[in-house]
C-alpha cells in the first residue's frame, strides 16, 4: 500500500511539473487540480520552509536512498530529498 501511494505521488509529480496545477489528495487518491493554498515550492530548504510556514504538525524520519523526509502541515505535506523540497501535496478540504 505504501509503495503504491509513493508511486502515485511520483507519477503525479511528473504530471504536475508540466501543468499549471498542484497535486491534491482526495479520499486517499492523488489528483492534479488547481489550488490557491500557499505551500512550499521545489528546491526550498527545510530551513526556508520552516521559516515561512512554521514548525510542521508532524515530522517523519528519512527513509530510503536518497533519504526522503516528509513533514505534515494542516493543509499540505512536504517531501524533501536530503534537505531540499522535491514536492508538496495539498490536502483536500475536509468534507462538511
Q: Encode pLDDT of 67-93 as tens digits.
A: 999 999 999 999 999 999 999 988 877
What digits encode the pLDDT tens for the residues 48-69? 999 999 999 999 999 999 999 9
Cell 523540497 sits on residue? 85
pTM for this structure?
0.67
> What sections of 1-96 are H helices per DSSP?
2-16, 46-53
Cβ atoms of 33 and 19 within 8 Å: the answer is no
CA angle, residues 74, 30, 17, in degrees to nearest 5 = 95
Predicted confidence at residue 21, as pLDDT, reads 61
**72 against 23, higher pLDDT:** 72
pLDDT, average across residues 34-59: 94
Amino acid at each position: 500500500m505504501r509503495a503504491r501511494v509513493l508511486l502515485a505521488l511520483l507519477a503525479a509529480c511528473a504530471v504536475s511539473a508540466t501543468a499549471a496545477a498542484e497535486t491534491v489528495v482526495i479520499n486517499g487518491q492523488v489528483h492534479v487540480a488547481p489550488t490557491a493554498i500557499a505551500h512550499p515550492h521545489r528546491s526550498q530548504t527545510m530551513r526556508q520552509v520552516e521559516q515561512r510556514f512554521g514548525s510542521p504538525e508532524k515530522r517523519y524520519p528519512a527513509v530510503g536512498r536518497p533519504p526522503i523526509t516528509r513533514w505534515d502541515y494542516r493543509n499540505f505535506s512536504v517531501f524533501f530529498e536530503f534537505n531540499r523540497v522535491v514536492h508538496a501535496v495539498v490536502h483536500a478540504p475536509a468534507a462538511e
